Amino acid sequence: VLRRYERARHDENALMLAAMDLFKRAFGSRNPILVVGRNLGLAAAGRLGPVRRAFMRQALGLGADLPTLARA
């Protein structure tokens, strides 16, 4: 059961790790171009409800088909 869960979550976890790495790099940089790009991206994501909800669902782990035991 745990192996099936691990396989089901692997891609979702890898995507979230990549996104967190991108956030770390974007917020750790003082490059003016990155600062403007990150600020514009965050402002756009905050104003676009469907985009914001998609990010939240992904971050909560609700974006994939989960095994029966992992469903809320």
Q: What is the predicted pLDDT for the residue at 64? A: 64
66 and 7 in contact (C-beta within 8 Å)? no
Radius of gyration of the chain (CA): 15
Q: What is the pLDDT along the chain (72 residues), one digit of tens a residue?
A: 788 888 878 888 898 899 889 889 988 999 999 999 999 988 998 899 898 888 888 777 776 666 676 666
The encoded tokens of residue 12 equal: 């979702």
pTM of the entire structure?
A: 0.64
Q: What is the predicted pLDDT for the residue at 66? A: 67
Q: What is the predicted pLDDT for the residue at 28? A: 92
